[in-house]
Amino acid sequence: MAEQEEKQFAIQKLYVKDVSFETPNSPQIFTEKWEPQVEFNLSSNARELQENLHEVTLTVTVTVKLGEKTAYLVEVAQAGIFAAQGFSKEEMGPLLGIYCPNVLFPYAREAVSELSGKGGFMPMILPPVNFEAIYAQKMQQEQQAGQPSKPN
């Protein structure tokens, strides 16, 4: 019986891959009554760089509007390079689709908060995210669509 390979996981690098901050209606937007509507979207993407080395990118987009006017839009693509070996194909999906985005989210949250504050607005503090539920929903949608499951 062949010995099972030992599971190893390590964060190799964390970095901001892309960042954007826009205030298309400034400075007039600062004179209006502050009753914002916030739209929060996120997505993650994983790709294999080489054997046992993966890049995971978590993209967070926050759009804040006052009525029909956009107060600001911030988008952060927080990425990481993760080494993973000894994991089965079934284990890699949740590792890249749940665990890695959980590692990246606090960095993306900090960037969004800092950018919104530097833009002249109250710092935007993003709520916690349940990546396990998002991953499960994505897998269910792919099964219903008849698509093969990918790690992310």
pLDDT along the chain (152 residues), means of 10: 75 98 96 95 95 97 97 98 94 95 97 97 95 91 72 54
Residue 42 is assigned to a structural domain of this protein: yes
Q: What's residue 1's pLDDT?
A: 45
Domain range for 139:
8-145
Query: Where do runs of H (alpha helix) occur along 2-152?
Result: 89-94, 100-118, 131-145
Look at residue 134 and tell me if it is in a domain. Answer: yes
The answer to whether residue 67 is domain-embedded is yes
Q: What is the CATH number of the domain that holds 99?
A: 3.10.420.10
Number of structural domains found in the chain: 1
- 81 lies in some domain: yes
List of residues 6+ apart from 55 with CB closer than 8 A: 46, 47, 49, 79, 80, 81, 82
Per-residue confidence (pLDDT) for residue 3, from 0 to 100: 54
2 falls within a domain:
no
CA distances from 136 to 40, 61, 98, 130, 139 (A): 19, 21, 9, 10, 5
